[in-house]
Amino acid sequence: MSRTCRIAPSLLSADFARLGEEVRSIVAAGADLVHFDVMDNHYVPNLTVGPLVCEAIRPHASGVPIDVHLMVEPVDRIVPDFAKAGATFVSFHPEASRHVDRTIALIRESGCRPGLVFNPSTPLDWLDWTLPKLDLVLLMAVNPGFGGQAFIPHTLAKLAEARRRIDAERARSGREILLEVDGGVKVDNIRAIALAGADTFVAGSAVFGAKDYRATIAAMRAEVAAAV
């Protein structure tokens, strides 16, 4: 059985001094999404980039969707800025928003596709009243803030539960909702992660730490295709 597989290299592990070139390289290497991590040194203990940089890299992405992962608090003020900067998906952590339903609606009204992000200890209960309005569910397999951390194994069981919920919603509404996993994804564990139910895979250090981006993305795709 061949599985849906979207590879989303995370720019967090790219060479920021050559960011445009790095974006062109991963797109040429077959990236399906460009994962863009936004950190504010408040919601997470690290600081990265904002809408200006998103806008600057967009022409280099050649139409490949930009998958903005907001690790900021508060969320709402910055959402329209990312819409203007060319984001396709905008995901946020429910703990970082006072009004989760309002933030989801704001992302949609701004012209982007909303996603909700679950930290390793965040229960999937947050999906109870949000899933019909989401285009993306993102499960963190590490605590957010840094690249290069180890995959937390309980994410596999959580992915299976999220898969069940998404399949039920799809049977009800016919809508496609992506199930993305972020953190510690490597060539040697991606097959198990796909088997657990993920269809979209963020990989930062595994891609940018490799000499050959294309070969690494191809190896990941082959592992997912081999998942039965």
Question: Binding to ligand DX5 by residue 193, rule CB under 6 A?
Answer: no
Question: Binding to Zn ion by residue 69, rule CB under 5 A?
Answer: yes
Which tokens is 198 given?
């993920």
Strands 89-92 and 66-71, bridge-based pairing:
parallel
94 binds, among Zn ion, ligand DX5, none (CB under 5 to 8 A by kind): none
Place of tokens 């863009």: 36
Question: Binding to ligand DX5 by residue 217, rule CB under 6 A?
Answer: no
Place of tokens 């194994």: 153
147 binds, among ligand DX5, Zn ion, none (CB under 5 to 8 A by kind): ligand DX5
Question: Could you tell me which stretch among 34-42, 45-53, 73-81, 172-180 binds Zn ion (CB under 5 A)?
Answer: 34-42
Question: Binding to ligand DX5 by residue 185, rule CB under 6 A?
Answer: yes
Residue among 40, 135, 182, 199 flagged as catalytic: 182
Place of tokens 């269809």: 199
3-state secondary structure of 31: coil
Which tokens is 211 given?
């000499």
Q: Which is nearer to Zn ion, 54 or 169 (CB)?
A: 54
Q: State the Cα–Cα distance between residues 200 and 190, nearest whole angstrom.
A: 10
Is the preceding peptide bond at 74 cis, omega within 30 degrees of 0?
Answer: yes
Number of residues that bind ligand DX5 (CB under 6 A): 22
User: Is 212 a catalytic site residue?
Assistant: no
- Residues in 95-154 that interact with ligand DX5 by CB under 6 A: 142, 144-149
User: Is 182 a catalytic site residue?
Assistant: yes
Q: What are phi and psi of 126, to 5 degrees?
A: -60, -15
Question: Binding to ligand DX5 by residue 206, rule CB under 6 A?
Answer: yes
Question: Binding to Zn ion by residue 37, rule CB under 5 A?
Answer: yes
Question: Binding to Zn ion by residue 67, rule CB under 5 A?
Answer: no
Nearest to 7 by CA among 174, 160, 187, 227: 187
Report the interface residues with Zn ion, using CB under 5 A: 37, 69, 182
